[in-house]
Amino acid sequence: MTHRPLGEPAHRPLGEPPRPVRPHPVEAALGRPPRPADVDPAVLGALLHRHGWQRRGGAAGRYGRWTPPGPGGAGTSLLVPVSRAFPDSDDLLAEALDALTRCGTPAAREVLLALTVPSDEVHWWRDAPDGPAGAASWNAEEHLRGAARQTLLAAALATRARAGYHGARHRRAAAACLEHVLVGSAAGGRSLTALVPVASGRALTVRLHQALYAVREAVDYRRATGTMDAFDGAVRAGASRELTEALIALVRGTEGARIAVEWAPAAGVPADCAAGAVEFSPGDLPVLREAGARYLRAEPSVPVRITGAVVRLRRAQPHGEGTARLRVIAGADVPYVRVTLREEDYRVAGHAHLVGLPVRVLGRLESRGGFRRLTGACEVVPVPVDDEERDRLMKALREEGAEADFFARERAEDDGR
């Protein structure tokens, strides 16, 4: 997200040319091919093979000749040395990289991208029925992209904490893990590939790989024995309700779906990570739904002491208990919580808001509703802050429009907010 500098108008004046868009770091890097000195010939060969290039001869033990897949690369061929053991290896690499840059086919771009930013590749496939004239509908592509993002988000959540149900917890940190993930187009709504940079995302792909295998084994165990016990152990590998929901979204409406992780050749294969795709079928959906419900029921509430800014107060009568909404500053990995306060605590929260102070409250973060509700609230006290911090807090509250609806008596409010 880009932030507007303080004092700059929110809208661009008419006639003023738009500011240039800052390129993605990977897009900027692709403007120049990698240096031959930075490229391992074995890695280049492995990437060419992975992305469909065909090896068509070459001097045995010295170099191979590669041609791109499909008709778009006609007339293009690369001579890639097997190693750096020969004097002309750097020259051959330089020529091959230059040819990849000029080729312009998706297969060439994918290889250059993997060389520029070493990445693990996550692949999704859906065996979806054909649409009219054999084309997939727009909804099919959107459905695949949505399910893929849910899958990656579930894995990112599992890198923050092992839990059967995460709810609203760790969402910001998990979303930040996905900022540098590059996703290609959903080819026909049936396949999709994401590139996860090794430097920032290897933990995510390892957790995804382990969690998928754990869920697959737990589903097989349930269908063989009738018990759900294996899903409890799968949590340690990263399984969660979020992952089962993602798999349900991926498989629903298809004849089957597969997910596979291909490891970056430059970084090698992590320990205990087997190769091959993990498959799920429509017959697995009842078990996945049962597992998701089990995870939701089993996740306990969490005792917390939260510091937060009051952004909304509401009660039906002028006196008695009421509800408050807090923007969490510390104490829990959720952005907002809703809490029911006794009359005195409600008054303390109202005074704290009016003078621009956060409050500290003790209670239990309930799993029902996604860990967005605090129950058993007590010990509500204002938290002293310096003038500078108070000004920042008041500015944030004004930006959220909190003053406009502070004491609003709303008839209904979404518990998930």
The tens digit of pLDDT for each residue in 58-93 reads 667 678 888 888 765 566 788 888 888 888 888 888
The tens digit of pLDDT for each residue in 92-150 reads 888 888 888 888 788 888 888 888 888 999 999 998 776 665 555 668 888 899 999 99
- Predicted TM-score (pTM) of the model is 0.78
Using the predicted structure, report yes or no on whether residue 20 has a pLDDT greater than 70.
no
Using the predicted structure, report yes or no on whether residue 192 has a pLDDT greater than 80.
yes
Between residues 9 and 251, which one has the greater pLDDT? 251
Q: Which of 80-89, 94-103, 271-280, 393-402 has the lowest mean pLDDT?
A: 393-402
First to last CA, the chain: 22
| Range 246-275 average pLDDT | 91
pLDDT at 65: 87
Domain extents in the chain = 25-116, 120-298, 302-399
Mean pLDDT of the chain: 82
Between residues 401 and 138, which one has the greater pLDDT? 138
Nearest to 169 by CA among 391, 10, 366, 4: 366
Give the 3-state secondary structure of the chain: CCCCCCCCCCCCCCCCCCCCCCCCHHHHHCCCCCCHHHCCHHHHHHHHHHCCCEECCCCCCCEEEEECCCHHHCCCCEEEECCCCCCCHHHHHHHHHHHHHHHCCHHHHHHHHHHHCCEEEEEEEECCCCCHHHCCCHHHHHHHHHHHHHHHHHHHHHHHCCCCCCCCCCHHHHHHHCCCCEECCCECCCEEEEEEEHHHHHHHHHHHHHHHHHHHHHHHHHHHHCCCHHHHHHHHHCCCHHHHHHHHHHHCCCCCEEEEEECCCCCCCCCCCCCCCEEECHHHHHHHHHHHHHHHHHCCCEEEEEEEEEEEEECCCCCCCEEEEEEEEECCCCCEEEEEECHHHHHHHHHHHHCCCCEEEEEEEECCCCCCEEEEEEEEEECCCCHHHHHHHHHHHHHCCCCCCCCCCCCCCCCCC
Residue type, 372: R
| Range 356-379 average pLDDT | 90
Using the predicted structure, report yes or no on whether residue 326 has a pLDDT greater than 90.
yes
pLDDT at 411: 33
Q: Which of 39-43, 67-71, 185-189 has the lowest mean pLDDT?
A: 185-189
| Range 253-271 average pLDDT | 91
pLDDT at 7: 35
Using the predicted structure, report yes or no on whether residue 245 has a pLDDT greater than 80.
yes
Q: Which CATH number fits domain 302-399: 2.60.40, 2.40.50, 3.40.50, 2.120.10?
A: 2.40.50
| Range 230-245 average pLDDT | 96
Using the predicted structure, report yes or no on whether residue 256 has a pLDDT greater than 70.
yes
**Res. 364 pLDDT band, cuts 50 70 90:** very high
Using the predicted structure, report yes or no on whether residue 196 has a pLDDT greater than 90.
yes
